[in-house]
Amino acid sequence: MKALQKTAPTFGVEFREVPRPVPRPGEALIEITAAGVCGTDVHIFEWSGGYDFMARLLPLTLGHEFAGRVVEVAGEAEGLAPGELVAVIPSAPCGSCAHCLRGAAEHCEHRSAKGTSADGGFAPWITVPVVNCLKAPNGVDDELAALVEPLTVAQEAVLKGGVMRGDRVLVVGPGTIGQAIALYARMAEAAEVVVVGKNDPHRFETLRALGFLDLIDTRDGDLETALASRFAGRKFDIIFEATGVPEVVQGALTFLRKEGVLLVAGIHPRPAALDLTRLVRERHQIRGSQRAPRHVWPRVLDSLVTEGERIRHMITHRMPLDQGVEALELARTRQASKIILSPVTRKRSS
């Protein structure tokens, strides 16, 4: 089968012919029907920093946001039947380190992650542990199921940020994670959700389709200037940083109320400078959030049952897998917000 792989620690990716994987006991063979292109894939494609640990693992198939149909299961099926559509949790704890053995698998330090430390979803087939397969509920199709991974990242950020009814929320970063944070903050009944971006008309278009009209474009200056002119003196309860631009962190804190929470979800290629005295005086809380724990996944799948048609607006492009390089270029140049690659011709029933 042809898989889209990172082959060298430098700019680029390439298609390579690799053997179709064979499931080991406890694994399912999945025919991938939808795989999302993520900012992470773009960083790895560009080799722009933050993923140097991958150098020793190459060649490696990219793609960690994927869904597909169960083809076969080796050993215990645990409720999975061939043909079923599943969203796949891309990372798995090792099961044998000290953390895993004491039942704290979320702290595992030898976690394997499809698409970053093991072969991922930009391929026609993949094998995954059966326990990582979550059956898509009725009404959730392949492309929505492929969105579950980034949605869980955003839902986890909103939970960690502690968004409550009536909160004023600022989301810095208009990409998929920022969009989904805005969505889950609204579902948590935030009173106000403002999203900031920089010269990103396509992602702003997506945000409008999602129902977010309070958008701030910082194209003509820095974050502080743009926010000051709009919100003179008014501060936010929770600010989400989803840009990966370190300079944003200090700027955003200026607009955080006393004891407010800055939740950092972006991956930053450089350290950020912080005025810690101000942090102390304002009693600001800075929290980090990354991958969601398992219990968040069913919650997100449920949210797709009711919100799926709105959330579908996040998908701006649908392309065949063999145009994966073009897709990464579109994402890199921000001409696309969320691209879904489909290795097989999707057969819609209606």
Residues that bind Zn ion (CB under 5 A): 38, 40, 93-94, 97, 100, 108, 110, 150
Cα-Cα-Cα-Cα dihedral sign, residues 341, 142, 158, 129: negative
Whichever of 194 and 301 has its CB closer to Zn ion, that residue is 301
Whichever of 121 and 150 has its CB closer to Zn ion, that residue is 150
Whichever of 63 and 343 has its CB closer to Zn ion, that residue is 63
E strands, 243-336, in order: 256-264, 285-288, 315-320
Which residue has 């994927």 as its token pair?
66
Whichever of 313 and 338 has its CB closer to Zn ion, that residue is 338
Closest approach, Cβ 292 to Zn ion, in A, equals 11
Whichever of 150 and 161 has its CB closer to Zn ion, that residue is 150
Residues 6+ apart with CB under 8 A from 47: 9, 10, 11, 12
Under the phi-then-psi rule, with left for phi > 0, alpha for psi from -120 to 50, and beta for the rest, what region is 95?
A: left
Whichever of 206 and 218 has its CB closer to Zn ion, that residue is 206
The one-character DSSP state at 118 is: B
CA angle 269/46/129 to nearest 5° reads: 85
- CA 268 – CA 159 distance, rounded (Å): 21
155, 159, 160, 166 alpha-carbon torsion, rounded to 10°: 120
CA angle 82/88/91 to nearest 5° reads: 135
Q: Is 290 exposed, middle or buried (0-12, 13-18, 19+ CB in 10 A)?
A: exposed
Q: Give me the phi and psi of 150, to 5 degrees please.
A: -65, -30
Whichever of 97 and 279 has its CB closer to Zn ion, that residue is 97
Q: Find out whether 175 and 198 touch, Cβ atoms under 8 Å.
A: no
